[in-house]
Amino acid sequence: MKDFTTGHEGKLIFRFAAPMLIGNVFQQLFSVVDSIVVGKFIGKEALAAVGASFPVIFVMVSMIIGLVMGTTVVISQYFGAKDFVKVKRAIDTMYIYSSVIGIVTTIIGILISEPLLRLMELPEEIMPQALLYLKIYLSGIVIFFGFNGTSAVLRGLGDSKTPLYFLIIASIANIILVLLFVGVFKWGVAGAAYSTLLANAIAFGLAIWWLNKTHKLIRIAIKGLHFDRETFQQSLRIGLPTGVQQTLVAMGGLALMDIVYKFGTDVIAGYSVASRLDMLALIPAMSFSQALSTFVGQNIGANKPERIKAGLIATIKMSGIVTIVTTIFIVIWGHVVMKMFTNDTEVIRFGDQYLTIVSLFYITFTMMFIYNGVTRGAGDTLFPMLFSILSLWIIRIPFAWYFSGKIGVIGIWWSIPAGWAVGLALSYFYYKSGRWKNKAVVKYVSN
């Protein structure tokens, strides 16, 4: 467990963000490796099917991700205040509600996946494979929630190294299993789904064993868990706006994919691969933002608001440098990386086109996420939610729909940085207003 209330702000945030960044890279490798193996061993139709499944999966898991983020903020603030009894209550409560929601999500997801894909007019040639992948993946959602919830709790306690070790184990297991199931056993997209599910189960099982044996605050046992209504209400207050935001973002991804669907399998496959690479490229921004949120939460809990601005400035500098380097790499070598997934020249062309346009605006996304990291760490998640809704549903989706009809798929690609630009402007001005300072679980006192 790491205490962020004393010491050099920039060094603390970097040391916390670095393992989390590496861990997030390994987590994204699940989908990246699956896409590479599927694209190389099965073909572009299967590649498009797996890619088309991810926005649907994101819709199913987005609400719980937001609620867990809310609980993580509560945990970090109580930890900063050294109230360990409430820290334990928050952890127990998170495991209980995430398990219940996971079971409900599995049932609902399996029932609605086919009607949802048909409503979106997914091309018929990739429909069977997309449905098969979705149903297998959704059957293991409870394991996904448990594994990722455990990692989120540890980060809220200031421990970003332990989740990294579990993610490395999960990623290595997934690589071995997907090559075995798809490359050797020839199970197709089902093999890719089973490998992800089983890799998560292995990592979560090891996490339960290790934490129960070594950790003072976290004990994962069904009989020992206690649900705390007050903590759950606090988590709802903070996490529900983020959950709604995540859900609306996920639905926006579906809406954007619906526009992409109209351009056929090559564009779907190219967009699917490019968006996987996109997520890898944006991991530094998200990791530094998560680290900053924990830093802000602990310092507000300890009533040390003067450290927050210094932490923000340090985070902007560090994440900015990484983002610029990433942009240069993508612009120069994006088309080479695309060839790792497929040999189809049209798929590569559309994916490289997307990456070239969008990567030039990674810095915009980074700055938006960093400012939102401050407000979320303070417990203010309502306005970041509203800003996401506005930038996505009022800017990006209408922009993509209108300009794709005028200039083709390039109009979809340009809609993404257009939404980021509006989101950054709104996030920056809200940060400057200072209204987020009054939303803490532990009362914020200005000096």
Region of poorest pLDDT, from 135-144, 150-159, 276-285: 150-159
User: Which residues, at least 6 apart from 68, have a Cβ–Cβ distance to it below 8 Å?
Assistant: 94, 98, 145, 148, 149, 152, 239
What angle do helix axes 44-80 and 265-301 make, rounded to 10 degrees?
10
Under 8 Å between Cβ of 206 and 220? no
Q: Hey, what are 270's tokens? A: 């190219």
Over residues 198-253, the pLDDT tens digits come to 999 998 888 888 877 877 666 667 777 889 888 888 888 878 877 777 788 888 88
Segment 429-442 shows an average pLDDT of 78
Q: How far is CA 73 from the centre of its chain?
A: 16
Confidence of residue 104 (pLDDT cuts 50, 70, 90): very high
Give the pLDDT band of residue 446 (cuts 50, 70, 90): very low
More confident residue, 291 or 29: 291
What pLDDT score was predicted for residue 312? 94
What is the percentage of the chain residues whose pLDDT exceeds 90? 42
- Which pLDDT does position 430 carry in this prediction? 92
Q: 188 pLDDT band (50/70/90 cuts)?
A: very high
Helix 306-338 and helix 362-377, axial crossing angle in degrees, nearest 10: 140
pLDDT at residue 427 in the model: 94
Average pLDDT over residues 326-340: 91
The confidence score (pLDDT) of residue 189 equals: 94
> Could you give the C-alpha distances from 394 to 135, 279, 397, in angstroms and in order?
32, 23, 7
Q: What is the mean pLDDT of residues 275-285?
A: 88
pLDDT over 80 at 442, yes or no: no
Give the residue, 20 or 196, on which the prediction is more confident: 196
Q: Which of 29-43, 340-354, 416-430 has the lowest mean pLDDT?
A: 29-43
The SS3 call for residue 43 is coil
The helix-helix angle for 9-41 and 306-338 (nearest 10°) equals: 20
Measure Cα distances from 354 to 41, 247, 273, 399 in Å: 24, 24, 10, 15
Distance in Å from the first CA to the final CA of the chain: 27
Give the per-residue pLDDT at 443: 52
Torsion of CA 194, 195, 197, 198, to 10 degrees: 110
pLDDT in tens, 363-401: 999 999 999 999 988 878 778 878 888 999 999 999 999
| Residue 120 tokens, joined | 């979106």
User: Which pTM value belongs to this model?
Assistant: 0.76
Identify the pLDDT of residue 174: 92
**Residue 19 host element (H or E):** helix 9-41
Name the residue among 316, 319, 312 with its Cα closest to residue 287. Answer: 319
Taking a C-beta distance cutoff of 8 angstroms, is the pair 80, 297 a contact? yes
Distance CA 38, CA 54 (A): 14
User: In the structure, what pLDDT confidence band is assigned to residue 444 with cuts at 50, 70 and 90?
Assistant: very low
Query: Which pLDDT does position 445 carry in this prediction?
Result: 45
Confidence of residue 79 (pLDDT cuts 50, 70, 90): confident
Q: What is the mean pLDDT of the chain?
A: 87
In terms of Cβ atoms closer than 10 Å to its own Cβ (0-12, 13-18, 19+), residue 229 is exposed
Dig out the tokens for 218 from the structure: 């976290």
**346 pLDDT above the threshold of 70:** yes
Is it the case that residue 320 has pLDDT exceeding 90?
yes
pLDDT at 85 over 70: yes
Amino acid at 81: A
What is the model's pLDDT at position 19? 84
111-114-120 Cα angle (round to 5):
130
What are the phi and psi torsion angles at 227 (to 5°)?
Answer: -85, 130
pLDDT of residue 127: 93
Residue count (the chain) = 447
Query: Confidence band (pLDDT; 50, 70, 90) for 447?
Result: very low
DSSP 216: S
Percent of the chain with pLDDT over 70: 96
For residue 54, which of 204, 222, 197, 257 has the smallest C-alpha distance? Answer: 257
